[in-house]
Amino acid sequence: DFALSEEQEMLRKSARDFLTAHCPKSVVREIEESDAGYSTDLWRKMADLGWLGLNLPEEYGGAGLSLLDLAVLFEEFGRAALHGPMSCTMVLGALPVMDYGDGPQREGILPEVARGKMILTMAVSEANASEEPRFSATRAASEKNNLFLTGTKLFVPYAHVADKILTLARTEGNPGDSDGLTLFILDRDQPGVSLSPMVNIAADRKFEMRLERVPAGKDIIGARHAAMPVVRSTLEKAAAIQCAEMVGGAQQELEITAEHARTRVQFDRPLGSFQAVQHRLADMFIDVNGARWVTYQAIWRLSEGLPAEREVSIAKAFTNLACLRVAGSAQQLHGGIGVDKAYDLHFYFRRAKAFELSLGGTYHHLQTLEAELAQQPRAH
């Protein structure tokens, strides 16, 4: 039963009310055109509301809520088309620290995240390791008992404002080996770290991060040479939460388009009175709700600590395609204004296309699902 609890309904309503009041599309446009790529004012307000520590333990200043609660919040972020380092901080950064970090790391990082004083991100992707982290070639070489990182990471979200960057590097073995990878905690301003912006269709901030003999130190998440379980678990959760964000955007597109069909008059009758338009709206409705169902199924399993690789791949593969169909139908039913940047639909189409290709594209998740189904059936 994926019906929202009373507390989750309250969270959704308060998030929607807040974002409607403080994040109209005029603000989204300002954010897209800004250097930072996010609103520091909204960031402070979200911290004051407790959102940035929503799923962190209470002992570290969080609210102690679940991944399902986080999904409700991110669905509203998607509905508002809000850009910012929320996902990279709250999911890619804070979750591995919470789940795999040691006591000092949790105490030093998580309260700062909850207060909005620290932004985190994760650097995993490379030219030959965009969807399979085990092919990472960034190397941690030992010199006189010190480690130095050399390599290039791609599509690192909000690296320019991150205080700490969780960086995957190879400490032994060769690209393709599942073992031999270590997740280091780097400061953004460490010597040898350089960033170059990577412009993308969604207008959120992604960066190429070059590492030239960067002193790595001994601050790592999890065990040395054994980062793959940490990275895989984190990326699974990030992909599922991104699906919730995509569903929020698709829901908003559906509502905008349904309202347009009710009020737009063509040939002396409402656009929505034409059967072909009704069929297209029905298809959009099915896609939105189908994507929501498989998304929350995956997130529920993750919240319960159950195996969820299959469900995450189903959710990401289906949601990728469903949200693109919804975006395309919304634009077609609007006609010319559907692709006018003065109108709001382009925000959602651009985000849906960018999200389709991040945290595992459709083909990658279909391959993962194929491999999962080829194995012995799993007990439910």
Tens digit of pLDDT for each residue in 287-336? 999 999 999 999 999 999 999 999 999 999 999 999 999 999 999 999 98
pTM: 0.94
Using 50, 70 and 90 to split pLDDT, how confident is the model at 79? very high
Q: Which is it for strands 146-157 and 193-198: parallel, antiparallel or unpaired?
A: unpaired
Cβ-proximal residues to 236 (8 Å cutoff; 6+ apart), any chain = 302, 308, 309, 312
Cβ-proximal residues to 368 (8 Å cutoff; 6+ apart), any chain = 309, 313, 360
Query: What pLDDT score was predicted for residue 213?
Result: 94
Measured between alpha carbons, how far is 251 from 247 in angstroms, rounded to an integer? 6
Tally Cβ neighbours within 10 Å of residue 176.
13
**Amino acid letter, 216:** A
Measured between alpha carbons, how far is 56 from 39 in angstroms, rounded to an integer? 22
Per residue in 126-155, pLDDT (tens digit) is 998 878 999 999 999 988 888 999 999 999
Instruction: Count the helices and strands in the chain (H runs, E runs).
Output: 12, 10
Q: Per-residue pLDDT averaged across 164-170, rounded?
A: 97
| Six-digit token string for 315 | 């959710």
For 16, 78, 251, 349, 350, the CA distances from 341, given in Å and listed in that order, are: 24, 18, 20, 11, 11
Residue 379 pLDDT > 60, yes or no? Answer: no
Name the nearest CA neighbour of 82 among 28, 32, 157.
28
Name the nearest CA neighbour of 81 among 290, 199, 245.
245
Q: Helix 228-263 to helix 309-334 angle, to the nearest 10 degrees?
A: 30
